[in-house]
Amino acid sequence: MARKFFGTDGVRGTANQYPMTAEMALKLGAAVGRYFRNDGDNQHRVVIGKDTRLSGYMFESALTAGLTSTGMNVLLLGPVPTPAVGLLTTSMRADLGVMISASHNPAIDNGIKFFGPDGFKLSDDAELEIERLVLEGVEAAQPQNIGRAKRIDDGRFRYIERVKSALPSSLPFKGIKVVVDCANGAAYRAAPEALWEMGAEVIEIGTSPNGTNINENCGSTHTQTASEAVVAHGADVGIALDGDADRVMIIDENGKVADGDQVMALLADRWAQTGRLKGGALVATVMSNLGLERFMQSKGLRLERTSVGDRYVVERMRKGGFNLGGEQSGHIVMTDYATTGDGLLAGLQFLAAMVETGKPASDLSQSFETVPQLLKNVRYGTGQAPLEAASVKAAIADAEVRLNGQGRLLIRKSGTEPLIRVMAECEDSGLLTDVVDGIIAEVQASV
């Protein structure tokens, strides 16, 4: 059965428009509360974190009302990175974790992500059951069983200590000048504090959230700002996070950007050399560059591919017993330390590699030569189905014939935005541009 309002990463959309309305958040809170508090006991608890979007206040209140109405006790963390919610769900013995964030999306959007008691994102089956409860409605708790809500003031500090503990306390970052771009998002305090506590000289940007500037010309999706800052300040490295800090892009001392594929390549190689890479494999999605796959093969390692979405990466990692995975977009998942992508943790691992090898960021951030890859998006409206158009299907079929044996083509709907994503890889850059632009033109004509 297809999910109605859950996407690849929770529920997401424009704030105050279906499905991201206060009414839906109230219903979601009640439904997920009933799903996890199914025995009538009043000891169940949920932790709720959020990023810095203005609409976060509205959704935090609505979710709290829905959850407490079914008897769940709510612990409010305030602005914290998404991985902090996964961590604190387990460390605070909660039954459920909730993150209010639209990640890398603009400020007008928002989203709701759910974590189970093990700190991992919910399965498709769990989300389907929660959808059923939303649509059918749930019975409220008796008056004497209504839940309580309480603010937790030290969630950020607990998270900082956790990411620091992933590295040896003897590993010095003293003398390293780091630009950290927090995208005016959830890590605007945690990331600079963690880096400073570990001894780095920290240059902060994107640390002045006002509710409407999250991801605006900053962060992992707009790396030019951080790149320019690295060069201007003569920094050794830059760490660019997204709005909820589960993604990262690394910037070398020359301002060149390394995406998630390059970071994963570095970590996989280093971990394999020290016997830390479980299963001899890295888990990534179908979007990861062919160059990463060739690099892994050259090291005698495997690349396991999944559908797009970091939770599908995590599911494959858990099933196969792997401990490193992620996405080209910058989600880096290290299950030895975290239950979801953690941009700050990945950034610290990169700094550790710089210290341990004595090499500059530029020597570590480009492990393989990428195969030319082109990704373009087309936004579509409600009720439209551009991939069903005959002209679009014909353009895709023609592109597949032209790329046969020379490259690969991937076309999909985004699970987090109303976008059609057209991606191709090919050594022939002219052919690459031609086939992608041809499909894009037909998709645009159909919307």
pLDDT, tens digit (0-9, with 9 covering 90-100), for 146-176: 999 999 999 999 999 999 999 998 898 999 9
Please identify which of the residues 103, 220, 227, 446 carries the catalytic annotation: 103
Q: Per-residue pLDDT tens for 330-386?
A: 999 999 999 999 999 999 999 999 999 999 999 999 999 999 999 999 999 888 889
What is residue 42's predicted lDDT score, i.e. its pLDDT? 76
pTM of the model: 0.91
- The answer to which of 199-208, 244-253, 301-310 has the lowest mean pLDDT is 301-310
> pLDDT (tens digit, 9 = 90+) per residue, 288-300?
999 999 999 999 9
What's the average model confidence in pLDDT over 263-280?
98
Q: Report the pLDDT value the prediction gives residue 181, as an integer from 0 to 100.
A: 98
Q: Which CATH fold topology does 174-256 show? A: Alpha-D-Glucose-1,6-Bisphosphate; Chain A, domain 3 (3.40.120)
Give the model's pLDDT for residue 418. Answer: 87
Closest CA to 114 of 147, 72, 85, 87: 85
At a CB cut-off of 8 Å and minimum separation 6, what does 276 contact? 323, 336
User: What is the location of CATH 3.40.120.10 in the chain?
Assistant: 11-154, 174-256, 260-364
The segment(s) of the chain belonging to CATH 3.30.310.50 are 373-446
Angle ∠(221,226,229) on CA atoms, nearest 5: 165
> What CATH code would you report for 11-154?
3.40.120.10
Share of the chain above pLDDT 90, in %: 89
Q: Mention every residue, 6+ apart, whose C-beta is less than 8 A from residue 82.
A: 49, 99, 101, 103, 113, 186, 244, 245, 246, 340, 341
Q: Is 103 a catalytic residue?
A: yes
4, pLDDT greater than 90: no
What tokens does 130 get?
């929660």
How far is residue 341's CA from residue 283's CA, in Å, rounded to a whole number? Answer: 13
177-181/201-205 β-pairing: parallel
Q: Give the burial string for 398-424 (b: 16+ CB within 10 Å, else e).
A: ebeebbeeebebebbbebbbbebbbbb
- Asked if residue 440 lies in contact with residue 433, where contact means CB atoms within 8 angstroms, the answer is no
Separation in Å, CA 310 to CA 80, 339, 415: 19, 10, 11
Contact 81, 244 (CB under 8 A): yes
* Contact predicate 158/193, CB 8 Å: no
Residue 2 has what pLDDT? Answer: 66
Residue 270 and residue 276: Cα distance in Å, rounded?
Answer: 8
pLDDT band of residue 311 (cuts 50, 70, 90) is confident
Q: Which positions ≥6 away from 1 have C-beta within 8 Å?
A: 128
- Determine the average pLDDT of the residues in 239-249: 98
- Residues paired with 11 in a beta bridge: 112
List pLDDT tens digits, range 37-88: 877 777 899 999 999 999 999 999 999 999 999 999 999 999 999 999 999 9
Whole-angstrom distance, CA of residue 154 vs CA of residue 77: 8
| β partners of residue 247 | 331
Top-level class of domain 260-364 = alpha beta
Instruction: Examine residue 192 and say whether the peptide bond preceding it is cis (omega within 30 degrees of 0).
Output: no
Average pLDDT of 1-8?
A: 77
pLDDT digits (tens, 9 = 90+) for 392-432: 999 999 999 999 878 889 998 887 788 999 999 999 989 99
Q: Which residues contact 388 (CB under 8 A, 6 or more apart)?
A: none
- CATH class, range 373-446: alpha beta
For residue 306, how many other CB atoms are within 10 A of its CB? Answer: 20
**271-287 in b/e burial notation, b at 16+ Cβ within 10 A?**
bbeeeebeeebbbbbeb
- Tokens coding 16: 């105050």
